[in-house]
Copies of this chain bind each other. A is one copy, B any other.
């Protein structure tokens, strides 16, 4: 549980959790762009801890538990609170409830994932939108299209449909293989994913961040089209 190798991986997981806390703190200061950056950094640490655990052969049951506890804060509580402060606050209690959906459905997604990993030894792609992908879609939208007074027009009107879509997809049967929890993936595939993330970050700086939201939204929508395509294809085969 506490050898020096798994300490390194668990330290990186703690950085994911700490970034989630920083995102909550900067959201409350009204600095939505910085809060969004901390959620993106949490996603980088989340990918990194898995790579480190594999490289050091230090995967542990403790590490897996700590990982999903960190994810529910960084990709559940933090983006829910960000979206509430940047937009849905104006609707009072219904706004709080809508904001909380990302957190509550994200927790359902993580709980379901955790029992699936144990029961089925699933590989590669998983049922439902992964919670980091939901958080990245929200935080890149806020990063690119918000000021200290909240989300910019005309993007603000898309936020409630987007929250409902992401929440539904997390608990749906739609499969995604982009940015899953990667417990059973090979180290090569993990590194490719990590490099992709770094390239995406570079593109973010080059385009002032505006391209990122559309990349993540495309991944989310592609999952739906693929699901519909395979539903149709499998019906033909039967």
Contact = CB atoms under 8 A, between A and B. Distances in A.
Chain A binding surface, main DSSP class: helix
B103 A66 contact: no
A134 interface: no
A115 B69 contact: no
A42 interface: no
Contacts of A110: 65, 69
A69 B68 contact: yes
Interface string A13-43: 0100110111011011000000000000000
28 contacts: A1-B112, A14-B107, A17-B104, A17-B107, A20-B77, A21-B80, A21-B99, A21-B103, A24-B77, A24-B81, A25-B81, A25-B96, A25-B99, A27-B28, A28-B28, A61-B118, A65-B110, A65-B115, A66-B108, A68-B69, A69-B69, A69-B72, A69-B107, A69-B110, A69-B111, A70-B107, A73-B103, A73-B107
Interface of A: 1, 14, 17-18, 20-22, 24-25, 27-28, 61-62, 65-66, 68-70, 72-73, 76-77, 80-81, 84-85, 96, 99-100, 103-104, 107-108, 110-112, 114-115, 118
